[in-house]
Structure 1
């Protein structure tokens, strides 16, 4: 008897019909003799609806009350799925994150899991029940409801799989696995049979939405075997785990993208000091050594547009003291990152990218990857061009990495 943790995202449980379909999959897995813990996200766009409701009351609502509000979305989905399972004659019980023993730190809206008390889950598993757990949420040591940030249900699932010592953690989503690019934007993208943890982490950190970066870090920490697969088909998914495949038959693992990005350029005599201050405040801002032009005393960042307001507020408050003379922002950009399987020179790749007939901004090496920004309206065409130019299109036969 195997213990399996399954996670279903918002699109997978976005309607009553889809909830019933998920219930059917769970029943089949249960009939194969498995013990099952199922982690759910909120239905469809329900979390966004709750956030919009809050904004109508208060443009900057209290973090504690936001967690109280948005955590209800997952409670709806777990209750409905449990009812669907019970209707099919399957013993099941729903639990909130705190009922499942998920304890977090005190940080509202972006909490970290500190530990999980699994005895209550084991008690119901031993009775033959499917345990359906609300993802994305937990309880702090002071008894406050907390949420784990967007994508937190992935982290809930992997963390539960780790503490329960599950044989497998399945991430069910709206695509059939991990691809060399988003197949909705690059139709020629190929599905990977397997991808090492470290390359999956880099893709996730650079914008690949199939797994949240924090969940991959949790999987690496506890060596949790992962499979990413579709909620809507029985097709084999992508295995995530292990180290980099020795002598990998490919040079690139894939392309990730991040929308709604900006480039911030800061000019002044003390740009390094200004950069250090901003980096301390905003860990998502990226400052590469070759992003500093000492001749013109200019420093460039790429960062999410949503952070510009806070960043420019710091520059306004501290700019004079730091010798900042001016700054400017370019918005409506998409960041495209090429994740490479191998170390080594990237000059030839950069030369190829320079020949793409679309505007490319801020082309920089980042770890093993290459990152660039392009105007958002052209991002789809840029991704398709890069994918083709680097030989990753379907039919090349050199993408699947086998252990």
Structure 2
């Protein structure tokens, strides 16, 4: 058994993987593989309908909002959002809190004027700007709720008077949110919702069709809504696995229940980081993410040694992003408290080992 703390695609529950694997050879006792059934068949239409219903129930999505399943990941949404919501002569406000937020900003600039109302880039994105102001004349305000690379996250919903748009790729379904406050939410599925290849978009009715530009059909949200996510061939298997994952989350007690588990996992790991003399957190304490915990070692030369130490104990996926180094431990929904306890135990064991080595060296004049 391996303890997978990878940043994405993230860990999925064993029972979800087992059910998904059965469907590859025999989907719902049809004698067909889920990989070869028609996306227009009633078999798959039932999957999409259930997936949508489960999303609506888990997130308490009001009837004022539509739910669609798309492809292309969050990066495609960086373009689709301004394409559909930002007038060519209009303005959009963005918050720059990490690599993915910055990529969204650069993409939006291709479609209209972008006002960056706050940024933490000069502090290596280790905190979230809080004193930003959003003008009432912008088309929308966009922010990223959780920043996977730098380990920061919003614990609150920004209060603005303009349409609110959020990239929730790495923390959707991990905590309760008030969907009614948002005009558009998008999320790549590969953290907490399902496998890579699927993007979930939640859109408030009435916000589309007001931008005077030619939008390619495949990038027009309205057509995907009208066709119930079937405008083009959808990511059939990814939607199916996500549906299984939504069932699993529902059985666990829904988002409220998993939020309690996620809080406990994060609290345990952060407590060890703060108490262990070998490790130090990188994100400002009040802005720490519960999904992506980032930290380094006080002695940088020990980082590779600890990675090797961890791998020997079947702990994988804790390397920091290539742009930051250090460590990044992702605590997505399927990661258990027991998994985190194994990691914390390894951190303590490594720290004790290093302490003994230092004492031995001092005693023997090393």
Q: Same fold (TM over 0.5)?
A: no
Structure with more relative contact order (C-alpha pairs < 8 Å, separation 6 or more)? 2
More strand, by proportion = 1
TM-score (norm 2): 0.30
